[in-house]
Homo-oligomer: A and B are copies of this chain.
Amino acid sequence: MDLDTRDRPIAILHTDSPLCRSEGFTAHARIRLESAHDDVIAELFQTGSGLLELDEIGLSDAAWKKLQVRDGDHVGASHPRPLESVRHVRGKVYGEAFSPNALKAIMRDVVKGRYDEIELAMFLTAIAARALDDEELVALTGAMVEVGERLAWDKPVLMDKHCVGGLPGNRTTPLVVAIVAANGLVIPKTSSRAITSPAGTADTMEMLAPVNLDLGSMRRVVEAEGGCVVWGGSVRLSPVDDMLIRVARVMDLDAEAQLVASVLSKKVAAGATHLVLDLPVGDTAKVRSENEAKTLAARLQATASAFGLKTRTLMTDGRQPVGRGIGPALEAHDVLAVLQGEEHQPLDLRDRSVRLAAELLELAGTAEPGRGRSLAEETLSSGAAWRKFKAICEAQGGLRTPPVARGREPVSAKCAGIVGRFDNRRLGRVAKLAGAPAAPAAGVELHVHLGDRVEAGEPLYTIHAETRGELEYAHEFAGNNGDIIRLDPES
């Protein structure tokens, strides 16, 4: 039907089709479809129009792809059998513990698309209401790894880093990879594109080099340069994670277990041996308080160690965006400024990258304890990191110059004051309204940080956009949300 429903399999039958009549299929029911190649459980809708013949079935792209069919192929339809594994989810709802085999069975059904939104929501609610113990959490992480692909490397030590919960502009990954690889360590980094944010690390990196590499090309880059920053989308590491995240986002439920399993299953599947986790803490960040961060860090550490993954967690300041740019190209300019040691480089981005790289260097034994920061700092200031980064970009397909947007519009302070608070979420929304990440040069360029003193009329940030309409749209939203950057009176 050329119907994009993302990962949701949908089938449409004619209301008067013999199949609906004989099987008693009703609209909004679930139906099991079977082709010569595969099977899928789809949501059934019905139509009475000429859209479909009585003996035809319409499929969404996701169902079409899963069944691997072509026009004219036969598809069998039946009532889906109750899923055995849902029994374990029901058990959990009533307080029973998950066995490792139960979690394996659940994840196998999830990855095959047999759990619909209702069952995924039930699973996620159950693990939020009945917190998983350490054993269950390790089993869940293992089960998520098992149902996806795994990368195997013939290296004993593989570095990785991850930031839990978005902070606009926190683009440390290209810098950390450059510093760590320049010191002879191996760091094959896969990153994601933006889902709800104005830019993902893969979007930003794409401004500097190609990132759509297949596994073979990625291996060649890592073989040659020790590091890479590529888009993880072509490698199906922990594929259930994406399904769970989409539903969890709608529920806005903090299932700690889901977060831990989500992060670590991808790292285990990627073959990492040493990991540093960045936990930004702030009232509009994912982790809202230091206590929350401590609990989360402890669970991450405990679970990671069960997989032999040496892990350090770093609590960082999550109260304000990092660097100046928000949006793929604007963030890429920040990264370049730090690598090239520019006079006006964003020092907060530099400092965060140095701290994270330092932890990795010490964790791997490349730097003595307490000497990681100076080594990382030196790697940047000597130009070694910049040389390594250029080499990585060339290996990925060629260094690029990030674009610059045509339209700009400043947003100014209405009164004088001290910058007291950032609403990171709404600031991200301004960047998205301006066109990021689809328009890569679009976004927000910040001129102030917490504690800065501004005069009335002084620009707080500048909106960058490619079209007049987007520029106006973002500017109007910014005008209606004057408190995105709160100015406090001087004390």
Residues of A within 8 A of B (CB): 1-8, 10, 12, 15, 21-22, 24, 26-28, 30, 45-49, 51, 60, 82, 86, 90, 93-95, 116-122, 124-126, 128-130, 246-247, 250-253, 432-433, 438, 469-470, 473
Contacts and interface: CB of A to CB of B under 8 A. Distances in A.
Contacts of A51: 1-2
Q: Is the interface of A mostly helix, strand, loop or mixed?
A: mixed
A6 B26 contact: yes
B128 A94 contact: yes
A93 B255 CA distance: 10
8 contacts: A2-B47, A2-B51, A21-B438, A22-B433, A28-B246, A118-B251, A119-B250, A121-B122
B24 A5 contact: no
Contacts of A470: 22
Given A24-B438, A118-B117, A45 B3 contact: yes
A2 B48 contact: yes
Contact of A93 (B26, B129, B250, B432): B129
A111 B418 CA distance: 46
Contacts of A45: 3-5, 10, 60
Contact of A253 (B60, B90, B469): B90
The 3 closest A-B pairs by CB, nearest first: A6-B28, A121-B121, A2-B49
A208 to B, nearest CB: 24
Contacts of A8: 28
Nearest to A44: B5
Contacts of A246: 28
Contacts of A121: 117-119, 121-122, 125
Copies of this protein, total: 2
Given A118-B117, A128-B93, A129-B130, A250 B30 contact: yes
Contacts of A438: 21, 24
Contacts of A12: 3
A126 to B, nearest CB: 6
Nearest to A130: B129
Given A117-B118, A250-B119, A4 B125 contact: no
A7 B4 CA distance: 21
Given A4-B48, A90-B252, A90-B253, 19 more contacts: A3-B45, A4-B46, A4-B47, A5-B28, A5-B45, A6-B27, A8-B28, A45-B60, A93-B128, A93-B129, A94-B128, A118-B247, A118-B251, A119-B251, A121-B121, A121-B122, A122-B251, A125-B129, A129-B129
A369 B405 CA distance: 87
A50 to B, nearest CB: 9
A254 to B, nearest CB: 8
A49 B2 CA distance: 6
Nearest to A46: B4
Nearest to A248: B118
A24 B198 CA distance: 10
